[in-house]
Every structure is written in structure tokens, then in C-alpha cells.
Chain A
Amino acid sequence: MHWINALAMVLMIGSGWKIYNDEVLFGWLHFPDWITIGGEAQGALQWHFFAMWVLMLNGLAYLAYGFATGRFRTKFLPIRVAEFVVDVRDALALRLSHADITRYNAVQKLLYTGIILVIVVQVLSGWAIWKPVQLSELVSLFGGFQGGRLVHFLGMAAIVGFLVIHVALALIVPRTIGAMITGGPKVDPPAEPEAEAPVIANSTITH
């Protein structure tokens, strides 16, 4: 699920940049063609409206799984301010513990919860600007068509920002990469109860 999402997201971002270039929101910002996907505008649109289904269907399955199994509750909650402050301080001092990568620290909890919400809003603003008449009620929530475009752009910026930090940090703690590719960290048999059993090879452990 994580990797399907990653692939769909890269396609969405790359093709979205090409679509953006045809009518920029900010005069100073054009995306160079070589980092965009789809070639011409129509190709980019075709990619965007293909990858959106992959992203949405995969995302729905992920949300259903997260809520149904209680994974969101055990992994992401609670998020405590005090823990967050301590973890940020430790992280900046490069003292953050990675002894148990099955447990998220407070910064991770906040970022992962945050990025899920951002993606949900991103999908909604995408629908709003794709269907500003059929879903006129939705687009008015974003302040009209151009408001929707702006929200969709800012959502992209937030996702790209997250991606940069997320990939950089994963590279700093290389142990997590193996876990992400194989579907989960090696957990010893007498592991704590809420840890995922290693036999369930799912790819959703998203450190």
C-alpha cells in the first residue's frame, strides 16, 4: 500500500506540475519540463486522471484498514505536546532513539497523521476543481474555482515538503528502509503485544 501510494503520488505531482505550467498561480514559478510527467498538457492530464484512481482507491483501502484494525489508534495516538517537544529537541541534537522502529515518536505521529489529513484535503480540492459545477457545493468550501486551485497547489507543496523530510530521514536511519521494503521490521517472538507479527507481510509499515 505504501509503495502503490508512493508511485501514484509521484505521478500525480509530476503531471500536476505540467498542468500547473499552462496557467501558473505564481508568475515566478514554472516547473522545468524535465521534472514533469506526461510530455504535453494532454499527456499530463491523462496521467493525472489515471493516477488519481490509483491514489484514491489505494488510499481508501489504507484508511479502511487503518480504522478497522485499530492501527491508526495504536500507532498514531496519543499525540502529546510534552513528548513532541522532547522528541524535537532530541532529534535536533541527533539523540533520537531508534531502538524500536515499530514505535513512532511524537514527531512521527504528528507528521504521519498530518500528511494523511493533507492528502484527504488534496483529494477533496482535486475533486472540487475537476467538477466545479457538478460539485459546486464542494468548490464553494474552498472559496471558488481559483481558491480550490490554490488549496490544491498548497496541498502539493505540503506533500512535497513532507516527502523531502520523510525520504531524508529514512536514509539517515537505513534500518527502516529494509523494513519498508520487506513489509515490516524483524520482531522477536516475545515482542510486545501491539507490535505487528512479522508473518503478516504487509507493506504498510511506513516509517
Chain B
Amino acid sequence: MPVRSPSPSSFRPKAGIDQSVLENNRELLADIGRRNILRGSLSLGALAMLTGCDVTNDSAVQSVLRRVSSFNDRFQEFMFRPNHLAPTYSEAEVVKPPRFNAYYDANDVAPVDGTTWKLELAGRITDKTPWNVQRFMQLPEQEWIIRHICVEGWDYIGQWSGVNLRTFLEMVGADLKAKYVAFKCADDYSGSIDMATALHAQTILATKYARQPITDPYGFPLRLRTATKLGFKNPKWITAIEVTNTYPGGYWEDRGFNWFAGI
């Protein structure tokens, strides 16, 4: 029974799961019946009840808070206005350079080499041909002067241009009915957004800031800019995009920040 990844994706191990583990433990595997698993899970449940602890090592309070945060995801999805545009501003109000933000210091930015950079596509996309810088820069551009709002409370007005994400997704034959668009970055950051936001008019794959190529600290050569989400939902130094129905999470989301994070 070969176990393989459903599609060549940079989000999954390329070689699939190592089969030798199965071979070495064939006897043990045969021993695991449905009955045993059921019995095991029952005693695990009993243990959890006896100790009054959650086996995931989370207190009941944290689990309530997380559930409310998921409810808030759905609530924000419900109140999202797909055709409502975020306020835009004049060029005179643009802050140059933009404000730096990452999970590390500006001095620790590892610049991406544009000559070797590739954008890989994965998941529910028909044409998964990777993109290089030259080809990507030829895509039609649009520009938005929008406010960047950080979850911490600061904000600035920025001037971003690049291909509209909906245009790009349509071009590569993405399944626009899928739930999520996920991003992987050169700095091991990752993030994901809902499809409704991905298809919003003011969501772009930005390559320029103030009409100049984005510089290293701000995501060269490619970053996401969406006008309807908090700053941390705009991954920089993007190297892979996946369209999927499986919840992808993200760097900060996995650390307790609200996933939808709409503004």
C-alpha cells in the first residue's frame, strides 16, 4: 500500500512517508485492532477525567478562550463585506520607507536572491509551473494606497503595487471555491487567509512600494498586501502559494493569535 502525497507540494514532504517504518513494525501493526484502539481511547478518556486534566496539557480556560477565538473567526467571516473597499489615501500621505515588522529584528533579515528566487504553486491549482522574477514582473499591476494596521496598535499608510491576487489565482487555474490560500516564506514564516479575502479587490501580491521594487526588509521580491487584514496576515518573502481546503494555520496563528484577524 504505497503512501504518497496527493500532489507535489512544498507543504508536504516530497518523498512521502518513509515506508521502512511499516516494514519494521509489521507484527506490531497486525496486533492493532479496532477493538484495541477503542479500548485505549476509552482508558485515555477515563484517565483524563480522573485527573481532571485535559490530555492536551491545556487548562479548561485556555480551551474556552480558543473556542471563542474560533467563533470570532466565523463571526468575522460573516461580517466581512466582499465588495466594501478599505479607505484609500493620497500619495502625499505615504510613509517612506514603510515600517518594518517581523518576528525578528530588522538587522536579522536574510535577503532573498532574486536571480534564484522561485514562486512555487501547490494544492488546488491547475497550472503549477513555478514563477521566476522576470516572468512574475510581467504580470499586470495595480496600485493601492492603503493603511497597514498592526495587531499591536500602530499603523501607517503605504503605497503597494503588484498583481491582483484574484487575477493571479484565475490565471493559474486555482479552485476559487476552496477555503484557504496559504503562503510559505523564505524566512520560515507562514500564513493563510480565507478565500473571500483572497478574492477581495484590494488583495495583491505586491512587488513594489512607492513604485520601486520592494526592498529586502519589506519582503523582496514578493509579499502579500491585503487591505482588510491586520499586518501579520501579510507574509513577506513569499516562496510558495497553496490553495487548499485543509486549515493551514500560520506562524502567529499557531501561537494563539486570532486566525481571521480581519480589520
Closest to B150 in A: A23
Count of interface residues, chain A, beta-carbon cutoff 8 Å = 24
Closest to B66 in A: A46
> When chains A and B are docked, how far (Å) is the Cα of A84 from the Cα of B151?
43
In contact, B258 and A41 (Cβ under 8 angstroms): no
Distance between A105 CB and nearest chain B CB, rounded to angstroms: 40
In contact, B152 and A23 (Cβ under 8 angstroms): yes
Given the interface pairs A49-B72, A134-B84, A136-B86, the reply to whether A22 lies near B65 with Cβ below 8 Å is no
In contact, B86 and A41 (Cβ under 8 angstroms): no
**Chain A residues with CB under 8 A of B80:** 134
Given the interface pairs A49-B68, A133-B228, A145-B155, the reply to whether A42 lies near B86 with Cβ below 8 Å is no
**Chain B residues with CB under 8 A of A140:** 87
In contact, B152 and A134 (Cβ under 8 angstroms): no
Closest to A38 in B: B65
Asked if A71 CB lies within 8 Å of chain B CBs, one says no
Asked if A53 CB lies within 8 Å of chain B CBs, one says yes
Most buried by A among B152, B153, B227, B252: B153
* B-contact bits for A133-166, CB 8 A (1 contact / 0 none): 1101000100001100100000000000000000
Distance between A130 CB and nearest chain B CB, rounded to angstroms: 8
Given the interface pairs A42-B255, A49-B72, the reply to whether A131 lies near B263 with Cβ below 8 Å is yes
Asked if A43 CB lies within 8 Å of chain B CBs, one says yes
In contact, A45 and B84 (Cβ under 8 angstroms): no
Given the interface pairs A43-B256, A133-B86, A136-B86, the reply to whether A53 lies near B263 with Cβ below 8 Å is no
In contact, B154 and A23 (Cβ under 8 angstroms): yes
**Chain B residues with CB under 8 A of A149:** 153
> When chains A and B are docked, how far (Å) is the Cα of A41 from the Cα of B151?
9
Distance between B133 CB and nearest chain A CB, rounded to angstroms: 31
> When chains A and B are docked, how far (Å) is the Cα of A132 from the Cα of B68?
21
In contact, A131 and B151 (Cβ under 8 angstroms): no
Given the interface pairs A22-B153, A23-B154, A149-B153, the reply to whether A134 lies near B262 with Cβ below 8 Å is yes
Asked if B9 CB lies within 8 Å of chain A CBs, one says no
> When chains A and B are docked, how far (Å) is the Cα of A23 from the Cα of B231?
14
Asked if A19 CB lies within 8 Å of chain B CBs, one says yes
**Chain A residues with CB under 8 A of B66:** 46
Interface size grouping (class) on chain B: 20 to 34
> When chains A and B are docked, how far (Å) is the Cα of A30 from the Cα of B66?
27
In contact, B149 and A132 (Cβ under 8 angstroms): yes
Given the interface pairs A131-B262, A132-B263, A145-B147, the reply to whether A46 lies near B68 with Cβ below 8 Å is yes
In contact, A131 and B255 (Cβ under 8 angstroms): no
Asked if A20 CB lies within 8 Å of chain B CBs, one says yes
Asked if A3 CB lies within 8 Å of chain B CBs, one says no
In contact, B258 and A49 (Cβ under 8 angstroms): yes
In contact, B256 and A40 (Cβ under 8 angstroms): yes
* B-contact bits for A27-66, CB 8 A (1 contact / 0 none): 0000000000000111101110110010000000000000
**Chain A residues with CB under 8 A of B69:** 46, 49-50
> When chains A and B are docked, how far (Å) is the Cα of A12 from the Cα of B81?
27
Distance between B200 CB and nearest chain A CB, rounded to angstroms: 10
In contact, B153 and A47 (Cβ under 8 angstroms): no
In contact, A146 and B256 (Cβ under 8 angstroms): no
**Chain B residues with CB under 8 A of A131:** 79, 262-263
In contact, A134 and B79 (Cβ under 8 angstroms): yes
> When chains A and B are docked, how far (Å) is the Cα of A134 from the Cα of B155?
16
> When chains A and B are docked, how far (Å) is the Cα of A22 from the Cα of B255?
16
In contact, B256 and A46 (Cβ under 8 angstroms): yes
* A-contact bits for B143-160, CB 8 A (1 contact / 0 none): 000010111111100000
> When chains A and B are docked, how far (Å) is the Cα of A133 from the Cα of B69?
20
> When chains A and B are docked, how far (Å) is the Cα of A42 from the Cα of B103?
14
A-B contact pairs, 9 of them (CB 8 A): A22-B153, A41-B152, A42-B255, A45-B257, A46-B65, A46-B256, A50-B68, A132-B147, A136-B84
Q: Which residue numbers of B lie inside 8 Å of A, CB to CB?
A: 64-66, 68-69, 72, 79-81, 84, 86-87, 147, 149-155, 227-228, 252, 255-258, 262-263
Q: Which residue numbers of A lie inside 8 Å of B, CB to CB?
A: 19-20, 22-23, 40-43, 45-47, 49-50, 53, 130-134, 136, 140, 145-146, 149
14 further interface pairs, Cβ-Cβ under 8 Å (given A22-B151, A133-B86): A19-B153, A42-B252, A46-B69, A49-B69, A49-B258, A50-B64, A131-B262, A131-B263, A132-B263, A133-B228, A133-B262, A134-B79, A136-B87, A145-B147
